[in-house]
Amino acid sequence: MTQAKNGDTVRINYTGRLVDGTQFDSSGSEPLQFTLGEGQVIPGLETHVEGMEVGTKSTVTVPADAAYGPHRPEAVVTVDRASVPQNIKVDVGTQLQARTREGRAMQVTVVGVDDSSVKLDGNHPLAGKDLVFDVELVEIVQAA
């Protein structure tokens, strides 16, 4: 049987969940297609798929460092409420787009609000979390 290798374009069915069982993502009705070695999916998932054979199913726990990295406290900042336009909803959990000092766009999540300030978290929502994936290699679309 042919094993998936670096450079192959593959299609997988997957379900991603936290270690407590909470599902955060899945391939749904269409398999996810990506090329191994191109960094299109998190490193731990990519490493796991490499070497799988078509039709195989498996479960892997990807540690935070091989997923979205550790939660970085320096990515959490508090800004004056007045610096956020009044027409923008700033409830806890709201995701916003902000600009860095260099002008680069980035996603942030509102993690705290009071009358005078808004606390924003620039970490990926899954940063610092170990992730569990149920994976099935459906097809090797194009071998390298």
Q: What is the pLDDT of residues 51-60, one digit of tens each?
A: 999 999 999 9
Say yes or no to pLDDT of 1 above 80.
Answer: no
Q: Alpha-carbon distance 102 to 2, whole Å?
A: 46
Rounded Cα distance, 121 and 90, in Å: 13
Query: First and final CA of the chain: distance in angstroms?
Result: 16
Buried b (16+ CB within 10 A) or exposed e, 8-33: bbbbbbbbbbeeeeeeeeebeeebbe
Q: What 3-state DSSP class applies to 73? A: helix
**Three-state DSSP state, 96:** strand
- Bridging pattern class, strands 95-99 and 9-18: unpaired
Average pLDDT, stretch 107-128?
95
**Residue 5 in contact with residue 50, Cβ under 8 Å?**
yes
**What's the half-sphere exposure (Cβ side, CA atoms, 13 Å) at 2?**
14
Angstrom distance (rounded) from CA 47 to CA 95: 30
More confident residue, 88 or 53: 53
- The whole-number average pLDDT for the span 1-15 is 94
129/70 Cα distance (integer angstroms): 8
Mean pLDDT, residues 51-80 taken together:
96
pLDDT at 144: 61
pLDDT at 86: 87
What integer pLDDT is reported at residue 133 of this predicted model? 98
- Taking all residues of the chain, what is their mean pLDDT, rounded to a whole number? 94
- The candidate with the shortest Cα–Cα distance to 136, out of 61, 62, 53, is 53
Question: What mean pLDDT comes out for the span 123-140?
Answer: 97
Q: Can you tell me the mean pLDDT for 119-130?
A: 96
**Does residue 99 have a pLDDT over 90?**
no
One-letter amino acid of 92? V
